[in-house]
Chains A and B, each alone.
Chain A
Amino acid sequence: MEQRTIVLVGLNHRTAPVEVRERLAFGNGRLEPALRELIAVPGILEGAIVSTCNRVEVIACGADAAAVGSALPAFLAREHGVADPALATHLYTHADREAVRHLFRVAASLDSMVVGESQVLGQLKEQYGVAASVGASGRVLHRCFHKSFSVAKRVRSETGIAEKAVSVGSAAVELARGIFDRLEDKTAMLIGAGAMGELTARQLLAHGVGSVMVVNRTYERAMDVARELGGMPVPFDRLARYLPLADLVIGTASGEEFLLAPPLVDEAMRERRRRPMFFIDLAVPRNFDPAINDLDNVYVYDLDDLERVARQNRTLRGAQIGRAEKIVEEELRAFMAQAHERDAVPVLARLRAHGEAVARMEAERTLAAALRGLDDRQQKTVRAMASAIVNKLLHGPTARLRNEAGRGPLAEAAAALFGLEEPSQSQPEAVVLSLAGNG
């Protein structure tokens, strides 16, 4: 089996401003064709793309790490028609262990703009699903991504970072509290159907905001979301008419153009007698022209601004984050050791499996035949002894095999000595599953 190295190239909210992120984002429709392009790049064997409001990352693996590493920025530049050098300043590249660590941290929401928020995991799962369905990802990425999901789960259940998550929504609530006296008599307007927007609207409602209007280009979708939130659907072409009724406006619509520009908002402000308005722009590309912020009594916050506000609250959770990072490191170590063993010395795994099988079989046979009547604890001792003997015997050979790293004379000798022939066909998991499904 050939060696596959993982390389991750991307940019996030720390390395690139929202203007750059919005240019490089892969919208819903663009993900599939882009993935097909990606695996068509020579030297790339598997690939996946993660594109959220705060990051665009391409993860690929191939035999030659350096070649993959230089192919990915070019791929991103080509896909978005951006000049290569302009992009380079914003990109980071991680290879091998660092790439896996980065993926784990992203999944566990440690690399998020708002640490501990749970939305990123859902997005990761969804987008990995797309990569799997178009056949872009393979065995290596499959293992990596699935491990990252379980690491995220572990981090969430074992540390407090998720519960106390100071999310974008909470930052928005805090800012709303700075503007408005009470939220009970306020109305929010949700434009678009992004997951983040819906969550934020929910959070605002939970903190007392009186009512919510839902605007969507598809009226049916607006009705669905409005029903879920207990709000009122508004047809898209009536946006301007209903805008003066909104105290808080959340933008999560997709599209390249600004939905609201200063003249329209100014008109709305006149109609509402200059009572303050708070615009929360969660969309990338942005929905609201930043110039709206210059109007009196109007406050516009985009994702980056909310990040800055959230950061002020984040230090409180430093200890929890430390624990989460520790879990990631622990899982990373185990994962890499496993991967190393699996890839470098396939014979080793078979040898160990063989040894364990022998120990188990012999112990059970002895227990069943000669040592009947032992209690549980004694039985356990016998089993432990059997596997201890096997492990002791195999310790030297396995250590030497591991050092050999890869196929060498020792591995072949071990295979021959212990009668460990390679299985005639090794099928990737996914294929086996699909065959089983058909049969």
Chain B
Amino acid sequence: MELGLLRLATLLYLGATFDALAGIAMQRELPRWLLPRLLLGGLAVHGAAIILRSAAAGHIAVTTFAEALSFLAVVLVAIFLAVQARRPLVALGAVVSPLAFGLVLAADAAYSGARPLPPVLHSAWLPVHVVLATLGDAVFALAFSASLLYLIQERRLKTHRGRGVLRHLPSLETLDRVNYACLVWGLVLLTLGIMSGIVWAHEAWGRSWSTDPKLVFSLLTWAVYVVLLQGRMTAGWRGRWAATLTIAGFAVIVLSLVSVNVLALGNHGKAF
């Protein structure tokens, strides 16, 4: 049941991906109607799957690699739709949809049964820490999407090819603004995520958490984004350079997600 729902969500995200790509290939305005609705449908089905799984496990279902990937996808789609409701940026969906699709596909591949949570980690900190950290990652994924579009759009404008096929992409200024907003929000969430993790680890294990690889990666990510924010605020970094750094920061996030979980490093890889 829950796996079936997950697969249905995968199909809906795939549909959204095709819709976005078809829109670009046919040079029409990116679908304002279908794409958000496909993603909304995906979000509902996907959310239901996670709720079912969490109910069965007795805690929020984020303790296996597959669960973490699936949770990240659902949060990413939710944030995109929330932003989309305030300001239509359908073009971002052209990156968000394949990202969500890829994440749930990976979740499906890594799918495993629920893993019992060590009693020491049964705590109210679990949902707080996980939701904050995942929100941070998802916001940075959105910043990555905007930056990717920025670099594409910027290249076309620089090389005088006009906007052509991608004429319905948002303006550079808009994308840069999205990047900035995501940077600020992402940093706030990441900081809170790291802090909540430290507090929780301290409560659970005392001091044994300080060399956890996940924490090292998170601090590295944090440093990249803090430098970027600092540069933006004081040195007027923006545009291509800001987009490139944003993508670099996101690469660290992906690296951390993959290495920690696949290689089962530290508490995030081993304990759950």
A residues adjacent to B (C-beta < 8 A): 171, 174-175, 177-182, 273-276, 293, 296-297, 299, 301, 305, 308-309, 312
Residues of chain B having any CB pair with chain A under 8 Å: 153, 157-158, 160-164, 167, 169-174, 177, 236-241
Q: Is the CB of B239 within 8 A of A181?
A: no
Q: Please, which residues of chain B bring their CB within 8 A of the CB of A178?
A: 153, 157, 163, 167, 169, 171-172
CB distance from B51 to the nearest CB of A (A): 38
* B236 engages A175 (CB within 8 Å): no
> Which one of A174, A182, A276, A309 contacts B239 once the chains associate, using CB atoms below 8 Å?
A276
Known interface pairs A274-B238, A297-B240. Does A308 touch B173 (Cβ–Cβ under 8 Å)? no
Count of CB-CB pairs between chains A and B under 8 Å: 58
Residue from A181, A273, A274, A301 in contact with B171 in the complex, judged by beta carbons closer than 8 Å: A181
Is A299's CB under 8 angstroms from B157's CB?
Answer: yes
Within the complex, the shortest CB–CB distance from B215 to chain A, in Å, comes to: 34
Cβ contacts under 8 Å, B160 to chain A: 301, 305, 308-309
With a cutoff of 8 Å between Cβ atoms, the chain B residues found around residue A276 in the complex are 172-173, 239
A–B Cβ pairs within 8 angstroms, 26 of them: A174-B167, A175-B157, A175-B163, A178-B167, A178-B169, A179-B157, A179-B171, A179-B173, A181-B171, A181-B173, A182-B173, A273-B238, A274-B236, A274-B237, A274-B238, A274-B239, A276-B172, A293-B158, A296-B239, A296-B240, A299-B158, A301-B160, A308-B160, A308-B162, A309-B163, A312-B164
Among B153, B160, B161, B163, which residue has the most Cβ atoms of chain A within 10 A?
A: B160
Contact status of A180 and B237, CB under 8 A, knowing A305-B160, A312-B164 = no
CA distance A273 to B157 in the complex (A): 20
Check A275 against B238 for contact (C-beta < 8 Å): yes
In angstroms, Cα B156 to Cα A175, docked, is 11
CA distance A301 to B158 in the complex (A): 9
Q: Is the CB of A297 within 8 A of B238?
A: yes
Question: A274-B237, A296-B240, A297-B239 known; A181 and B177 CB under 8 Å?
Answer: yes
List the A side residues contacting B164 at CB < 8 Å. Answer: 312
**Given the complex, which residues of A lie within 8 Å of B157, measured CB to CB?**
175, 178-179, 299
Residue pair A179, B239 in contact (C-beta under 8 Å): no
Residues of B close to A309: CB separation below 8 A: 160, 162-163
| B239 partner residues in chain A, CB cutoff 8 A | 274, 276, 296-297
- Tell me, in angstroms, the Cα distance from A180 to B177 when the chains sit together: 11
Closest to B238 in A: A274
User: A174 contacts B237, CB within 8 Å?
Assistant: no
Q: Which residues of A lie under 8 Å from residue B167 when comparing CB positions?
A: 174, 178
The one of A180, A273, A312 in contact with B236, judged by C-beta atoms closer than 8 angstroms, is A273
Chain B residue at smallest Cβ distance from A293: B158
Chain A contacts of B162 at CB under 8 A?
171, 174-175, 308-309, 312
Residues of B within 8 A of A175 (CB): 157, 162-163
Distance A174 CA – B156 CA, assembled complex (angstroms): 13
Nearest A residue to B172 via CB reads: A179
A299 and B153 CA atoms in complex are apart in Å by: 12
Closest Cβ neighbor of A275 among chain B residues:
B238
CA distance A174 to B169 in the complex (A): 12
Residues of B within 8 A of A181 (CB): 170-171, 173-174, 177
CA distance A297 to B153 in the complex (A): 12
Name the B residues within 8 Å of A308 (CB-CB).
160-162
Which residue in chain A gives the minimum CB-CB distance to B175? A181
Bound CA–CA A273/B238 (angstroms): 9
Residues on B with C-beta less than 8 A from A179 are 157, 171-173
Q: How far is the CA of A171 from the CA of B237 in the complex (A)?
A: 29
Chain B residues within 8 Å of A299, by CB: 157-158
**Most chain A CB neighbours (cut-off 10 Å) among B158, B161, B170:** B158
Query: Is B171 in contact with A177, judged by CB distance below 8 angstroms?
Result: yes
Q: With the chains together, A179 CA to B167 CA distance in Å?
A: 11
For residue A182, which residues in chain B have a CB less than 8 angstroms away from its CB? 173
Task: Give the CA-CA distance A182 to B170 in the complex, in Å.
Answer: 11
Query: CA–CA, A174 to B167, complex, Å?
Result: 9
Complex CA–CA separation, A178 to B174 (angstroms): 9
Q: Identify the closest chain B residue to A278 (Cβ).
A: B157
B178 nearest CB across to chain A (Å)? 10
B235 to nearest A CB, angstroms?
8
Task: A296 to B243: give the CA distance in the assembly, Å.
Answer: 12
List A contacts of B241 (CB < 8 A).
296
Report the nearest A residue to B163, measured CB to CB.
Answer: A178
Minimum CB–CB distance for B159 against chain A, Å = 9
Once bound together, how far apart are the Cα atoms of A347 and B173, in whole Å? 72
Q: Which among A178, A182, A293, A308 has the greatest number of chain B C-beta atoms within 10 A?
A: A178
| Bound: A271/B220 CA distance, A | 32
Q: Report the bound CA distance from A257 to B217 in whole Å.
A: 54
Give Cα A25 to B46, complex, Å: 66
Q: From residue B261, how far is it (CB to closest CB) to chain A in Å?
A: 37
User: How many Å lie between the Cα of A178 and that of B155 in the bound state?
Assistant: 12
List of A residues within 8 angstroms of B163 by Cβ? 174-175, 178, 309
